[in-house]
Amino acid sequence: MATTPAATPPLLRRVNASKLLGVLSTAGVMTGTGLIEATGLTRATVHAVCNDLIAMGWVVELDPGHDAPGTPVGRPSRRFEFNSQAGYVLGIDVGAAKTTVLLADLRGDTVAKAGRSFAEVRTPTEQTEVVNQAVLETLAAAGVSDQEVLAAAVGIAAPVDRDGNILVDDEFWRRFDAGLTARLSELHGWPVLLENDANLAALGERWRGQAREVDDLVVLLAGERFGSGLMDSGRLLHGSRGGAGEMVYLKMVEGVGDTAGIARTARERGAKAVADPVVQTSLRALAGDKPVTAELVFAAAASGDQVALGILDEVTTRTARVVATLAILFNPELVVIGGAVAEAAKSLLPSISEQLAGFTATPPRVAASSLGDAIVSVGAVRRALNYVEEHALDLQLRARRA
Amino acid sequence: MATTPAATPPLLRRVNASKLLGVLSTAGVMTGTGLIEATGLTRATVHAVCNDLIAMGWVVELDPGHDAPGTPVGRPSRRFEFNSQAGYVLGIDVGAAKTTVLLADLRGDTVAKAGRSFAEVRTPTEQTEVVNQAVLETLAAAGVSDQEVLAAAVGIAAPVDRDGNILVDDEFWRRFDAGLTARLSELHGWPVLLENDANLAALGERWRGQAREVDDLVVLLAGERFGSGLMDSGRLLHGSRGGAGEMVYLKMVEGVGDTAGIARTARERGAKAVADPVVQTSLRALAGDKPVTAELVFAAAASGDQVALGILDEVTTRTARVVATLAILFNPELVVIGGAVAEAAKSLLPSISEQLAGFTATPPRVAASSLGDAIVSVGAVRRALNYVEEHALDLQLRARRA
DNA sequence: GAATCTAAATTTAGAATCTATATAAATCAA
DNA sequence: TTGATTTATATAGATTCTAAATTTAGATTC
């Protein structure tokens, strides 16, 4: 009947241990005195908690020594360090055309990376197999066993609710294998979390991107697809069925913004240019036999092609309108634009910012992502680390450094 | 240095007392055994906590008796009840044209109500004075003293951030007195919380309106103004400067949706109708000397006036578009339409719902508010009660029933 | 009316945890 | 070697919980 268990004395230890571990996981080597200051606990408690954490494998004790660089007086301190090799996490980006897998230690530092194209993939089962190959590659490269992996997070281009379920069954989201997470978990034994790719992008940007210290954030993912991750007060928004931030149905972004849309527009304009020999464009040639990709359009624009430039101008104008709408409705402090289109949009950020000022009373800052291709997989690593931090004191470690 | 204080044994009592009080505040009379089941605590702890809460004034003990209606066997139970008269809260709606004040007990039941028009108000100071008159009226009517008031919440039609500050300084939001909360607090001694009116409407709908049990919610306030309150996973969104859900700058709602916009449109159409005697409309007469209000348009539409009906049709079409945009971006389970326009829109809900289905994969339910005029003030009461619940164990009560 | 039954209340003992204080340890400097 | 200094550890006391034993208050039975 009771929703949460009763608060008993061991809860105190849990709370204090969790807090101390949180401090250690972001700081470097710390002494007992340093932990007293950082946590507000007394010396006796700090040492008791540290002893517990060392026994569990979360913390390693270094040789005693002095902390301050000044005159070393008094008994040397015990020195504690978060054991970043106590386990590993996987961040997996399952995109439309390819997958990216990051294996990271508990500090979040990448220890191995792998990617695979989905070009040969025909069925969902094959897709899962390809993802698994990339996973195995990272584990082998770093010499990490399944027992050492504490969690994995997978990002997909579909709405995912708070419980990691895909509730929307729709043609737009049919491209991936709904059994992916169950299959990976079954094969390897580690928990696999599922999350929307744009949401993970938001986590990534806030952790290691442009949005550090930012609590109210919109990340616009403009790459293979056009979507957004929304964060209010540091919390991701999901909506009732995981659809928060999705824009597939938004009229204003119809067909433009993602790379497929750009390529299609380029093919049309290229064909039109064939009929009008006055217009000089490299897209005309491309419209024939070779497939026109968004990358080719970016390249053409970079070398001054007028038609390509016109297409990108249109893309950024539409992007600006979307940013304005999101900025008005969510009032974020910052909007980060990520994905393949981000690179091209970078030079247009000032004009987007300028347009924004006219639309809202408190326009957000606008920035381009610097995480590039890894925007989703880095966020997935962060998601997996969040899970580990939440469950740290319940997890059984198989530590390397003891 | 430490952000939160260390967890010490007294924290356990706080946690358990808070949980038990939460159970009692929503349930009716409860026995010790009932509380054991509801909280998961042991009998000894339940009684210890109850004794504490009785001493503090939050709980009253009734004569012992048997709970179950069956054969009464064994020692009679002690019976506990939340002391809903332990204090009172105020919910204050400061609108553009008037203010509504609710005085409620700790269960949230209204014990007094008052309203005042701002028609005679010229300055912000005068406005505060009028609000204060309404407050005094409720206190006098219920015979409640300032000492018994534990908190008040004020709703205004402007962005308010999480700390209750108005950060946006803009012509749209200049209508009220920025010193209102400080003044009330100074006059009466109770804490005064400030919050955006649409956000309060969302709290109100979730508490006592159409959105009970709904965690992902949008409330569209279409009355004196057009704004929305957004809730994700039961939490209100604010954005970085309190602007989340504001739509003043949204092109798609420009000038229509609020009552002032409706009145203006009506005046224009009325004037046009004067020039075209073929059109039959009561608005023509109204366009002359008397001021045309939205209420008159609603009334005219109700009696079949074609021009008025045309205006309302336009309003609902635009409303539908806004609902669709919010539904796509936030993926709520439910959209509640409240405010003066809500009544008129009620009959058009089915068609709005229908349009929505074409726009989104998982369209939300759409409902009209049943809280009427009180939508914001009821939410303000809920906001104040939330504050009281959060701070219950720190507050010094001046109980009536001891 | 006394004994018995029952469920609840209360008391007691034990465990976990914290703080505060006292004691011990390790290092440098004189 | 002794003293100063800082840190680590041990001990005592307080708070709070659980679990088990005991008491209590009313209903039922003999």
CA-nearest residue to B356 within chain A is A249
The pLDDT score that the predictor gives to residue A145 is 97
Name the residue with higher pLDDT: A153 or B172: A153
| Residue B60 tokens, joined | 């009253």
Cβ contact A49 with chain C strand, < 7 A: yes
Answer yes or no: are the C-beta atoms of B332 and B365 closer than 8 Å. Answer: no
Rounded distance between C-alpha atoms, residue A132 and residue A188, angstroms: 10
Name the residue with higher pLDDT: B57 or A280: B57
Determine which of B232, B248, B253, B321 to mutate to test the interface with A (most A C-beta atoms within 10 Å).
B232
Q: Which of A294-303, B51-60, B74-83 has the lowest mean pLDDT?
A: A294-303
Rounded distance between C-alpha atoms, residue B139 and residue A33, angstroms: 54
The pLDDT score that the predictor gives to residue B277 is 63
**Please, which pLDDT band fits residue B129 given cuts at 50, 70 and 90?**
very high
Phi-psi region of A170 (alpha: psi -120 to 50; beta: other; left: phi over 0): beta
Q: Is the pLDDT of residue B244 over 70?
A: yes
Rounded distance between C-alpha atoms, residue B167 and residue B175, angstroms: 15
Q: Which of A383-387, B19-23, B123-127 has the lowest mean pLDDT?
A: B123-127
The pLDDT score that the predictor gives to residue B236 is 98
Cβ contact B73 with chain C strand, < 7 A: yes
The pLDDT score that the predictor gives to residue A70 is 61
Rounded distance between C-alpha atoms, residue B37 and residue B29, angstroms: 14
Q: Which amino acid is at B230?
A: L
The pLDDT score that the predictor gives to residue A309 is 81
The mean pLDDT of B181-195, rounded to a whole number, is 97
Determine which of A206, A329, A360, A365 to mutate to test the interface with B (most B C-beta atoms within 10 Å).
A329
The pLDDT score that the predictor gives to residue B401 is 45
Rounded distance between C-alpha atoms, residue A325 and residue A359, angstroms: 9
Name the residue with higher pLDDT: B171 or B354: B354
Backbone angles phi, psi at B68, to 5 degrees: -70, 145
The pLDDT score that the predictor gives to residue B3 is 82
- Name the H helices within A145-217: 180-188, 197-208
- Residue A104 pairs in a beta bridge with A89, A110
Q: Three-state DSSP class for B373? A: helix
Segments in chain A below pLDDT 50: 400-402
Backbone angles phi, psi at A97, to 5 degrees: -110, -15
Q: What share of chain B has pLDDT > 70, as a percent?
A: 87
Q: Across the interface, do A167 and B362 touch by the CB < 8 Å criterion?
A: yes
Answer yes or no: are the C-beta atoms of B264 and B293 closer than 8 Å. Answer: no
Nucleotide nearest to A44 (CA to C1'): D9
The pLDDT score that the predictor gives to residue A261 is 73
3-state secondary structure B346-361: HHHHHHHHHHHHHHCC
| Residue B156 tokens, joined | 């205004």
| Residue B265 tokens, joined | 């449109």
- Full DSSP string of B239-297: -TTS-TTB-TT-GGGTT-SSHHHHHHHHHHHHHHHHH-TTS--HHHHHTSSSPP-HHHH
Rounded distance between C-alpha atoms, residue A208 and residue A216, angstroms: 16
Alpha-carbon radius of gyration of chain A: 24
User: Minimal CA–CA distance to B59: which of B23, B89, B84, B34?
Assistant: B84
